[in-house]
């Protein structure tokens, strides 16, 4: 009996090793980004330089996402995630040691940021493409929920703990400890057993593979609609969430602290939603109804939260939004994993990551101009409304509904589809 068929659910050694490694990586990234920001401010006192350097960490994931996805489909995915964590760990340790010994030229932080971001770009699509190979199809929703919990909890815990550890360990020592945790994560992943991929029928250039991935995603109507819907939801939602900071800052009786409480409520709701999905078995034929209903309810909650002046109501709306957002996110990941054959899985996840992260800086930049034109509150309402309007056609598309409710037969058909 193969390893894949022996693993019935998420409580197996392979997924547990993968999950804890991702948790360490996500937690380290969240805490490191905060600690790095404080360190840059201590050294330079420049907010703009801090933003530029943090952007250097994120930029490679956007630029190299499709390439990293195509790379994951061609090469050993376990080796990719092991090396990505190990190299990032060594870089973090090296940075900390050089700073402690006063041998770190400050401008070296930019190539350092680009390098760690580059290897992080390979980690994400590789780890996502592994999951369907180490858990059964019936457990994919629970597996993605567990992965989502680690990502969200890492933000919830890592952001405040990053500042605390920076003050406790004086920055550079924390960078070393963070690097050691990444090295541990990489070594623990050596014990993961992943079924071998079928050898390529013909040798092609990796750029050809990237183009093939784009063509594959565009040709499959369900995948195309899902990617476009996520693109618009992410773009307009990011704009709205960006404007929540000035909304709370300038609304009488709210302030910056309450903004933090609301974001905390949102994250707690997200974690709870994912916990519920790890225990709840969603039937494939009901998947689209949950997806569509969650989008409708989430948009209503977000608009209502902005219109009300009650902070308690806003907290409740944020919590419910977090739960619904978890449902949408997990269903999306599960459908992609079920319907994309192994040969194109990394490419599609790479494309999804680039679309999601690539538009965020543009959305954030535009948000300020829109707020100046319409006012903050009206701009947020308009952004949420446009998010709903942009995805509405897909929610009543029967072909898209069939795709979202995909069965094993649909998956088999997708897997049998020849390379474009």
- Are the CB atoms for 30 and 38 separated by under 8 Å? no
Integer Cα distance of 74 and 356 in angstroms: 23
The helix or strand, by DSSP H or E, that contains position 283, with its residue range, turns out to be none
Q: What pLDDT does 199 receive?
A: 53
Number of helices (H) and strands (E), helices first, in the chain?
17, 0
> Do residues 392 and 295 make contact, with C-beta atoms less than 8 angstroms apart?
no
| Tens-digit pLDDT profile for residues 153-182 | 777 677 667 767 777 766 678 788 888 889
Contact between 12 and 139 (Cβ < 8 Å): no
| pLDDT at res. 320 | 92
199 exposure class (CB count in 10 Å sphere: 0-12, 13-18, 19+): exposed
Which pLDDT value is given to residue 93? Answer: 92
Instruction: Identify the structural domains of the chain with CATH numbers, from first to last.
Output: 3-191 (1.20.1250.20), 206-416 (1.20.1250.20)
What is the pLDDT, as a whole number, of residue 417?
46
CA 383, chain centre distance (Å): 21
Closest CA to 239 of 71, 77, 383, 343: 383
Residue ranges, the chain, pLDDT below 50: 1-7, 409-420
pLDDT at residue 200 in the model: 52
Which residues are CB-contacts of 392 (< 8 A; sequence separation ≥ 6)? none
* Cα–Cα distance for residue pair 99/37, rounded to 1 Å: 15
């Amino acid at each position: 009996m193969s390893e894949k068929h022996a693993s019935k659910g998420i409580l197996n050694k392979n997924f547990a090793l993968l999950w804890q490694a991702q948790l360490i990586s996500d937690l380290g990234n969240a805490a490191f980004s905060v600690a790095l920001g404080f360190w840059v401010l201590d050294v330079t006192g420049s907010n703009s330089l801090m933003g530029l350097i943090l952007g250097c960490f994120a930029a490679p994931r956007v630029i190299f996402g499709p390439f990293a996805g195509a790379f994951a489909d061609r090469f050993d995915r376990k080796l990719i995630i092991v090396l990505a964590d190990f190299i990032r760990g060594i870089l973090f340790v090296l940075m900390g040691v050089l700073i402690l010994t006063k041998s770190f030229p400050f401008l070296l932080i930019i190539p350092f940021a680009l390098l760690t971001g580059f290897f992080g770009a390979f980690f994400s699509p590789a780890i996502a493409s592994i999951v369907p190979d180490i858990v059964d199809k019936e457990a994919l929703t629970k597996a993605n929920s567990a992965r989502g919990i680690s990502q969200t909890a890492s933000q919830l815990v890592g952001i405040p703990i990053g500042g605390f550890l920076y003050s406790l360990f004086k920055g550079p020592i924390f960078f070393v400890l963070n690097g050691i945790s990444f090295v541990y994560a990489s070594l623990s992943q050596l014990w993961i057993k992943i079924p071998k991929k079928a050898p390529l029928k013909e040798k092609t250039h990796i750029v050809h593979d990237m183009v093939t991935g784009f063509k594959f995603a565009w040709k499959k109507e369900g995948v195309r609609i899902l990617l476009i819907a996520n693109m618009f939801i992410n773009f307009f939602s990011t704009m709205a969430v960006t404007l929540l900071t000035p909304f709370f800052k300038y609304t009488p009786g709210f302030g910056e602290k309450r903004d933090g409480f609301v974001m905390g409520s949102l994250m707690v709701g997200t974690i709870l939603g994912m916990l519920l999905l790890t225990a709840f078995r969603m039937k494939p034929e009901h998947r689209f109804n949950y997806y569509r209903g969650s989008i409708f309810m989430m948009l209503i909650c977000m608009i209502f939260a902005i219109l009300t002046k009650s902070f308690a109501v806003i907290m409740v709306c944020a919590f419910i939004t977090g739960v619904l957002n978890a449902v949408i996110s997990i269903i999306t990941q599960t459908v992609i994993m079920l319907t994309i054959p192994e040969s194109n899985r990394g490419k599609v996840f790479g494309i999804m990551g680039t679309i999601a992260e690539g538009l965020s800086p543009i959305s954030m930049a535009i948000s300020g101009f829109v707020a100046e034109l319409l006012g903050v509150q009206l701009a947020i309402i308009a952004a949420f409304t446009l998010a709903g309007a942009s995805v509405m056609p897909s929610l009543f598309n029967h072909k898209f509904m069939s795709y979202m409710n995909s069965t094993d037969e649909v998956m088999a058909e997708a897997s049998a589809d020849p390379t474009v």
